[in-house]
Amino acid sequence: MTSAAIYGCAGHRLTEAEKTFFAETRPWGFILFRRNIDTPDQVRALTSELRAAIGNADAPILIDQEGGRVQRMGPPHWPKYPPGDAYLKATNDLSTARELVRLGARLMAHDLREVGINVDCAPVLDTPVPGAHDIIGDRAYGADPETVAQLGRAAAEGLLAGGVLPVIKHMPGHGRAFADSHRDLPVVHADLDTLDAWDFAPFKSLSDMPIGMTAHIVFTAIDPKRPATQSRKAIRMIRERLGFGGLLLSDDLVMNALSGTLTQRAHKALKAGCDIVIHWNGVMDEMRQVAEGVGPLKGAAKRRAEAAMARIVRTPEPLDATAAHARFFQAMGGRMEAARGPDVGEAQA
């Protein structure tokens, strides 16, 4: 029976121990990082191995491919895409920026699908506030919720058109956090009306998307004791106030914002209402701990997972990739320089 987990793996190919573990635990899917990426042929072989290990040729395989500092597949085999904030800066026009965001996402979907990846942990729908930690920073599409919502939808639609599922993140909003949840537990003290008008707004606008990812952040107006990932109150609010009916993934369980053993972290997230948990780093001992806290994917969570996978189009929208790349990079002009801010690196984004 499929388990409510997504795991990473250690390298470019699976070890025998990994094959055995995945066959025993049968995770819903997998997630790749830079350590797993070399050449297109290598990535295709790895995605095939992962699916073969659980006997599911259509199993979801995720990656963080936003552009900018969060891009696991890059040169020399794949283009360097811009960060979220570069589109509006390059065009100074929202309508043109929407077209370019959609085109960029369609191109990324083409890159991913070519190597067997069918889920992209993008777009970022977080809206930063002045002084917030720059872990979001230039990853945000804009400086206000309406811009973020419009460009975020363009990105999601570009991915869907290319046969890749988008994952909206980080619900219910990471833009107000004054700490990096990879290292610390952020606490947000804004009142509910302020959160609703700013932080929640893009997620409500894209509540029809197939998959979302939680934030490891305490919102004192929702639940002063628990981060959203492990809070029944926060998950219920995501379902009801934000109107999100899709599959809900936890952010990475290894992040320092969470406390307790990995078994406890997994159990708390699922008990709170996350449908599936993610463990990213491929460390076998840690994956075994997570597996102890994860049960089978069943009930409403299973139905949401099936509904999400049904959104993958079998025949992507037609694309002349060579011409589209040329048009995209010409339109972006000089906005392709290295992204600013801290490198998110191998952590789950």
Beta bridge partners of 279: 7
Residue 257 has a pLDDT of 85
Active-site annotation holder among 126, 251, 252, 275: 251
Active-site annotation holder among 170, 174, 182, 216: 182
| In the chain, where the domains are located | 3-332
Q: Look up 133 and say whether it is catalytic.
A: no
Residue 341 has a pLDDT of 39
Cα gap 46→37, rounded to integer Å: 9
The pTM for the full model equals 0.94
User: From the CB of residue 52, how many other CB atoms can be counted at a distance below 10 Å?
Assistant: 15
Residue 338 has a pLDDT of 36
Cα gap 292→154, rounded to integer Å: 39
Second CATH level (architecture) for the domain 3-332: Alpha-Beta Barrel (3.20)
Question: Smallest Cα–Cα separation from 256: which of 203, 217, 289?
Answer: 217
Q: Look up 111 and say whether it is catalytic.
A: no
User: Whole-angstrom distance between the N-terminal and C-terminal Cα of the chain?
Assistant: 28
Q: What does the pLDDT profile of the chain (349 residues) look like in tens digits?
A: 999 999 999 999 999 999 999 999 999 999 999 999 999 999 999 999 999 999 999 999 999 999 999 999 999 999 999 999 999 999 999 999 999 999 999 999 999 999 999 999 999 999 999 888 788 999 999 999 999 999 999 999 999 999 999 999 999 999 998 766 677 788 999 999 999 999 999 999 999 999 999 999 999 999 999 999 999 999 999 999 999 999 999 999 999 889 999 999 999 999 999 999 999 999 999 999 999 999 999 999 999 999 999 999 999 999 999 999 999 999 998 555 433 334 455 554 5
DSSP for residue 137: G
